[in-house]
Amino acid sequence: MKMSKRKNLRQLLAGIIAIAILFPQQSLISQVIPDSKQLISVAAELTPKKVVEAVLQRIETEYIDSKLISRKDWQSIRNRYLSQSYQSMEEAYVAIRAMLDVLKDPYTRFLDPKEFASMKIAPGSENVGIGLQVAINEDTKQLTVVATIDNTPAQKAGIRSKDILLKIDGQPTLGMEITESVSLLRGKPGTSVVVTVQRGQQVVDIRVKRAAITINPVRWNSQNSSRGKIGYIRLTQFSFSSVQEVQKAISLLEQQAVIGYILDVRGNPGGLLYAGVDITRLWLTDGLIATFISRENTPKREESKQTALTQKPLVILVDGGSGSASEILASALQENQRAKLVGTRTFGNNTVQSIKELPDGSALALTVSKWLTPKGFDISGKGLTPNVRVPLSETERKALSGQRDLIGTTADPQYAKALEV
């Protein structure tokens, strides 16, 4: 993606950084754009049926499964929704969501105008919530915690990756839209929400006080070790600014004469596609990063052909909350033997979504491609296996949740092991 195109995207939708909170599926976003041609052409004669038609057109021309439109059941579904008369936009939205359910794709979803507007928060602004990143488990259909954001109420309350959210303020979440669950979690600062969490066989109610959530995607420092000075970079989201911030961190750490790096993407659920690819290039001089497969089954290879900012040893910290763009970076550097992974198995999502605004101000997030690792592996539902597995005990989890300043120190068992690798 060229820089001019990135700037256009930045102008078209300020606030992609808010996706992890407001659009919290474990997603890899290729683009978020208003369909300006479509908006102009139908604005004067907008009807609920026009919105349904627009969704159908996008599915049939852009959805990753190109064989969909040739299925007899899809033709029947298509005819059913096009033959209906819709008295209101709300009726159209209900029909669209029912239509998307047929795809059985948890990453393809519809946002009504209010939901889409709430997503468009300017970078650096605050959002009020509890700091959870959630997804719907493809197998169980249960609302599951992907990760908690650093220094947020959810993290301090001890909620963690892989927890199942059974209820929000007493409302069962099974069958609930992602956006509805996010709306329930949000509210005025200082108010509380009760989440019913299942962890293994244990079910517990946790009361969490809402607060303003600000995401700072990159933080870094240098630390002394028995081997010498180590550069530590923690990356919590792949946003517009993260590429430049990681580049700055590496450059400044190089000036401090570090002997190696630890890159921490634990709890990082993904974000922008190009950010994941470009941050990988900062570390990799030559090599295949990933192969993207479109609906035409045409492979597109993303490679690094530039000189990396550093060739010094690199360890990447990963866990079950590391997904999508985090997995692109981790798999590329692992399989090119540029880095070793330490921690636990990653989330396992290799699909790419494009978000496009519809004529009425709603939006459709559509799965448009998938990616394979440099060696051609499909990690969907499997994740990446670390070179060195370091699970955390319950006591260790609680310690790190209660004292976030311990993360990335020798009191952090996964970080401590990375120092030895």
The reply to whether 254 falls in a domain is yes
Angle between helices 89-101 and 72-83 (to 10 degrees): 170
The last residue of a domain, from among 93, 117, 141: 117
pLDDT in tens, 154-167: 988 989 878 999 99
Which pLDDT value is given to residue 372?
98
Distance, in Å, from the CA atom of 386 to the CA atom of 101, rounded to the nearest integer, reads 34
The reply to whether 264 falls in a domain is yes
Contact 353, 368 (CB under 8 A): yes
CATH of the domain at 199: 2.30.42.10
Which pLDDT value is given to residue 123?
42
Q: Are residues 316 and 329 in the same domain?
A: yes
Which pLDDT value is given to residue 12?
25
Q: Are residues 209 and 269 in the same domain?
A: no
CATH of the domain at 344: 3.90.226.10
CATH of the domain at 29: 3.30.750.44
Which pLDDT value is given to residue 119?
66
CB burial readout 247-277, b (16+ within 10 A) else e: bebbeebeeeebebbbbbbbbbbbbbbbbbb
Q: Are residues 56 and 74 in the same domain?
A: yes
Angle between helices 273-283 and 242-255 (to 10 degrees): 20
Which pLDDT value is given to residue 55?
96
CB burial readout 85-117, b (16+ within 10 A) else e: ebeebeebbebbeebbeebebbbbbbbbeebbe
Q: What percent of the chain has pLDDT over 70?
A: 87
Distance, in Å, from the CA atom of 367 to the CA atom of 100, rounded to the nearest integer, reads 11
Q: Length of the chain in residues, anyone?
A: 421
The last residue of a domain, from among 156, 179, 213: 213
The number of domains in the chain is 3
Q: Are residues 254 and 235 in the same domain?
A: yes
Beta-carbon contacts of 92 under 8 Å, excluding residues fewer than 6 positions away, are 48, 49, 51, 52, 86
Contact 87, 48 (CB under 8 A): yes
Which pLDDT value is given to residue 39?
45
Q: Are residues 23 and 45 in the same domain?
A: yes
DSSP codes, 171-192: EE-TT--HHHHHHHH--STT-E
Q: What is the residue-averaged pLDDT of the chain?
A: 86
pTM for this predicted structure: 0.76
Beta-carbon contacts of 150 under 8 Å, excluding residues fewer than 6 positions away, are 234, 236, 267, 404, 407
The reply to whether 277 falls in a domain is yes
The reply to whether 233 falls in a domain is yes
Q: Are residues 164 and 285 in the same domain?
A: no
Q: Are residues 171 and 39 in the same domain?
A: no
Q: Are residues 132 and 99 in the same domain?
A: no
Q: Give me the half-sphere count of Cα atoms (radius 13 Å) on the Cβ side of residue 208.
A: 30
Q: What percent of the chain has pLDDT over 90?
A: 63
Q: Are residues 172 and 288 in the same domain?
A: no
Identify the CA nearest to 109 among candidates 69, 136, 77, 80. 136
Q: Are residues 205 and 225 in the same domain?
A: no
Q: Are residues 273 and 386 in the same domain?
A: yes
The last residue of a domain, from among 157, 185, 213: 213
pLDDT in tens, 260-299: 999 999 989 888 899 999 999 999 999 999 999 999 888 9
The reply to whether 246 falls in a domain is yes
| Residue 160 tokens, joined | 């963690």
Contact 200, 206 (CB under 8 A): no
The reply to whether 86 falls in a domain is yes
- How buried is 301 (Cβ within 10 angstroms: 0-12 exposed, 13-18 middle, 19+ buried)? exposed
Q: Is the pLDDT of residue 343 over 90?
A: yes
| Position 122 confidence tier, pLDDT thresholds 50, 70, 90 | very low
The reply to whether 97 falls in a domain is yes
Q: Are residues 393 and 267 in the same domain?
A: yes
The reply to whether 122 falls in a domain is no
| CA 417, chain centre distance (Å) | 27
pLDDT in tens, 45-87: 789 999 999 999 999 999 999 888 778 788 899 999 999 999 9
- What range does the domain containing 92 cover? 3-117
Contact 129, 185 (CB under 8 A): yes
